[in-house]
Structure 1
Amino acid sequence: MSEKKRLLGMTLNELKAVAAEAGLPGFAAKQMADWLYKKRVSSIDEMTNISLAKRNWLSDSYEIGKVPPVDFQKSVDGTIKYLYPAGPGNFVESVYIPTSDRATLCVSSQVGCKMNCLFCMTGKQGFTKNLSANEILNQIQALPENDELTNLVFMGMGEPLDNTDELFKVLEILTAPYGYAWSPKRITVSTIGAKGLKRFLDESDCHLAVSLHSPYPAERLSLMSVEKAFPMHGVLDLIRQYDFTHQRRVSFEYIVFKGLNDSVQHAKALAGLLKDIPCRVNLIRFHAIPNVPLQTSDLSKMEAFRDILNDRGVTCTIRASRGEDIFAACGMLSTAKKEKENK
């Protein structure tokens, strides 16, 4: 018996094709979208403005495709890491981060990652597959705290701009009137500077976050092999061609490693590198991962680093560290689950 196709994650145009296949009028696609993305139903039977006969026909070949998390870990600070199935033997994580004024979800886009950054647990898994639009959106739709969400960050497992086709389907559904109808200002896509960056800048109004981690190309290459294929200076030159002074915002992520990239010299070089780009720099404490010698920088060093950038006109903040007691660094929970399943 062939596997049923999943409606969750389909765009309006894709739903129109389903409606045509079922012999339904064109407006039925909008009805299905309402049930999927506004009412968030779990079964085709709940689509009561579609005839019973057509619902039965749809159910023979299709399902909603909303799958609950299979595991979770909750931190003392309220952060919750959820684990979702992503095909046989595969799992991905999303991290729910509530604060006093917002609730943010970090969403995964791949099982594993091709980029193999030195400091990233997901990269140690190697690359298995791109997530489908269904598997990406399911992390949002099946989230127990879905009604509380105010912001989304594509900063979980994987490189979002290495999976652009499926990412763009999800961004369309999240922002289109037929879907979630979210403002793009509630969504940030994080990247290390992959091949899909220009497409994202041309086609999306969502915010952009770029991982830098060093102002020096050779040192960045030692941390991130992507520097060879997509050099930092080329990424920054591309960003300079776009307007980040109004609706859309660009920020730069900078994980601070003890004795490696936390010096006064690094801070001054980073300020010089970014001085002509309207942006924010987020300093991030390193979450230690197994078999990696990198260490977390001292808070006093991070504060001095922040102050140098602010004094030189580059807005800089230290991001509050969340979920350390549950190993909130991406890839930890999914790696443990996969190893357990393979025993």
Structure 2
Amino acid sequence: MTKKTPLLGKTLGELKAIVQDLGMPKFTAGQIASWLYDKKVSSIEEMTNLSLKNRERLMENYEVGASAPVHEMRSVDGTVKYLFCTPEGDYIESVYIPDDDRATLCVSSQVGCKMNCKFCMTGKQGYTTSLTAAQILNQIYSVPERDTLTNVVFMGMGEPFDNLDEVLRALEILTADYGYKWSPKRITVSTVGLRKGLERFLEESDCHLAISLHSPFPSQRRELMPAEKAFSITEMVEILRRYDFSKQRRLSFEYIVFKGVNDSLIYAKELVKLLRGLDCRMNLIRFHAIPNVDLEGTDMESMIAFRDYLTQHGLFATIRASRGEDIFAACGMLSTAQQQAEKKEKESETF
């Protein structure tokens, strides 16, 4: 059977090219976009304002391309971690995080990751492949809470700027009038910082930006995050200074606080110095322990002192509440567990 191409993840321009190639009226592209991104249908058969003949033409080589999660884990605090399986049999994770009047979905952009950050379970998997826009959007399209979401963050598995073409395509669909019609203010993209990706993102998208920082000292950041070798945090900050973050786009820095590593006021003072004059905020994050990594989270008293110093010296800081600690909270944990379970199953079948 010929593998069909997903319509999910196609921009209006791409849909126009498809209908033109199939000899269908031009306006059909807008109808298809409406069925996909407004009505969120699961099959082409449901696109009832297309003629039966045009639906049949479309179904010969295309499908909606949505697929439900294969597994979920629910936390006592309401957080839900979803596991998706790609058509190639790879696993990715999304996390639904309810918080008062906000409902955030954290989505993945790759299977595994090339960045190999010391504290990240996804990096321990290595890199397998980048997700298509269809696979990125499917994480939003196919969760039960999709119609109540207020925010989406690209902070799941993978480095978004290492898959920027597909991420930008997904962002276009999320914010376009023919798509989800979301404000860019509802979307945040997180990155370790890749020079070409950063500059292009700043030029081509108005979505919020979050930079994984974790140490203000380049030598130490290099130990935690090998990407520092190619593009240092000091160079990154200089590029960020050229852009106006005071209006639509928000700039934030993510800082995981490790006990005895980066939690003293020496680090807080250096952060103030590094980011002075930059319109930004700092998100302090408690570390979720992962196997075989000699790092641990600091205590809340130290985090509060760290936050207060930053805020008192002009760098607005918040402590991100820990969520879902009872359900493989750290990114990459659930997919890794699934991979290991399947590996053991295959090994047992050989004996």
TM-score grouping bracket, smaller chain normalisation? over 0.9
State which drifts further: 321-330 or 126-135.
321-330
Q: Which residue of 1 aligns with 2:274?
A: 273
Deviation at 1:275, TM superposition (A): 1.5
Q: Which residue of 2 aligns with 1:257?
A: 258
Q: Which residue of 2 aligns with 1:88?
A: 88
Deviation at 1:324, TM superposition (A): 0.6
Q: Which residue of 2 aligns with 1:130?
A: 130
2 CA distance for matches of 1:93 and 1:101? 23
Q: Which residue of 1 aligns with 2:166?
A: 166
Deviation at 1:342, TM superposition (A): 2.5
Q: Which residue of 2 aligns with 1:329?
A: 330
SS at match of 2:82: strand
Q: Which residue of 1 aligns with 2:24?
A: 24
Deviation at 1:167, TM superposition (A): 0.4
Matches within 5 A, 1:1-343: 1-194=1-194, 195-343=196-344
2 CA distance for matches of 1:230 and 1:19? 43
SS at match of 2:190: strand
Deviation at 1:88, TM superposition (A): 2.7
Deviation at 1:89, TM superposition (A): 2.8
Deviation at 1:87, TM superposition (A): 3.0
In the superposition, the TM-score normalised over structure 1's length comes to 0.99
For residues 259-281 of structure 1, the C-alpha deviation after alignment (integer angstroms, 9 at most, x for no partner) is: 00000101111111111101110
1 CA distance for matches of 2:238 and 2:87? 39
SS at match of 1:147: helix
SS at match of 1:258: coil
1 CA distance for matches of 2:86 and 2:92? 7
Write the letter of the residue equivalent to 2:252: S
Deviation at 1:254, TM superposition (A): 0.2
- The share of aligned pairs that are identical, in percent, is 64
Alpha-carbon contact 1:89-1:338 (below 8 Å) kept: no
Write the letter of the residue equivalent to 1:235: M
State which drifts further: 333-342 or 301-310.
333-342
Alpha-carbon contact 1:287-1:327 (below 8 Å) kept: no
SS at match of 2:104: strand
Deviation at 1:300, TM superposition (A): 0.5
Q: Unaligned stretches of 5+ in structure 2?
A: 345-351
2 CA distance for matches of 1:327 and 1:274? 33
Write the letter of the residue equivalent to 1:77: D
Q: Unaligned stretches of 5+ in structure 1?
A: none
Alpha-carbon contact 1:73-1:326 (below 8 Å) kept: yes
2 CA distance for matches of 1:337 and 1:75? 18
State which drifts further: 284-293 or 321-330.
321-330
Deviation at 1:34, TM superposition (A): 0.2
1 CA distance for matches of 2:39 and 2:276? 46
Deviation at 1:60, TM superposition (A): 1.3
Moved over 2 A (4+): none
1 CA distance for matches of 2:151 and 2:180? 12
Deviation at 1:162, TM superposition (A): 0.6
2 CA distance for matches of 1:114 and 1:47? 40
After superposition, the CA RMSD in angstroms is 0.7
